[in-house]
């Protein structure tokens, strides 16, 4: 009886681990977000206009699960790359807790230096906002970033 209970508990535990792993694989990691940002920097340095077109391509290489590149113009904060809010003013964006994370991104972005901003934001598929960290960098006339959800 004890052996059957242990085997059943082990099976349930293993199934839970497999489900957690499968769920985690559905979302991007901090390392993957940073790698995507590094690739975006290369593209922006080569040809900013073409890079922005690539970042906005829903089927392109700069979209991976819940990871995506976003960019805004430094001059006015207007988002020029984002899956759903191109044209919005990044300076005015606040999370559900009232944190002005967009202004923080713009104010903190430095040319060639990656900074990190934490805030609450819904996943691309929707739902309640969850904790998100975005790596942001200044690139000439733009700031660009990639965020990952915790």
* pLDDT confidence bin for 23, thresholds 50/70/90: low
d(CA 142, CA 78): 10
d(CA 47, CA 34): 20
* Residue 72 DSSP SS3: strand
Question: Is 59 in contact with 65 (CB distance < 8 Å)?
Answer: no
Phi, psi of 148 (to 5 degrees): -130, 150
79-95: pLDDT as tens digits? 999 999 999 999 999 99
Over 70: is that where the pLDDT of 13 sits? no
99-149: pLDDT as tens digits? 999 999 999 999 999 999 999 999 888 899 999 999 999 999 999 999 999
Place of tokens 């559900």: 96
- Looking at domain 28-149, which of 3.40.640.10, 3.40.190.10, 3.30.450.20, 3.40.50.1100 is its CATH number? 3.30.450.20
pTM: 0.82
Phi, psi of 131 (to 5 degrees): -60, 135
Over 90: is that where the pLDDT of 37 sits? yes
């Amino acid at each position: 009886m004890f052996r059957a209970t242990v085997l059943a508990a082990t099976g349930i535990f293993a199934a839970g681990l497999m489900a957690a792993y499968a769920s985690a694989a559905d979302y991007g990691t901090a390392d993957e977000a940073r790698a995507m940002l590094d690739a975006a920097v290369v593209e922006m340095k080569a040809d900013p206009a073409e890079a922005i077109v690539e970042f906005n391509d829903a089927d392109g290489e700069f979209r991976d699960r819940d990871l995506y590149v976003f960019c805004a113009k430094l001059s006015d904060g207007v988002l020029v790359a984002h899956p759903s809010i191109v044209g919005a003013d990044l300076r005015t964006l606040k999370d559900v807790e009232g944190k002005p994370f967009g202004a923080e991104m713009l104010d903190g972005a430095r040319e060639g230096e990656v900074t990190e901003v934490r805030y609450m934001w819904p996943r691309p598929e929707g739902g309640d906002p969850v904790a998100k960290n975005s790596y942001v960098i200044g690139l000439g006339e733009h700031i660009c970033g990639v965020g990952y959800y915790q």
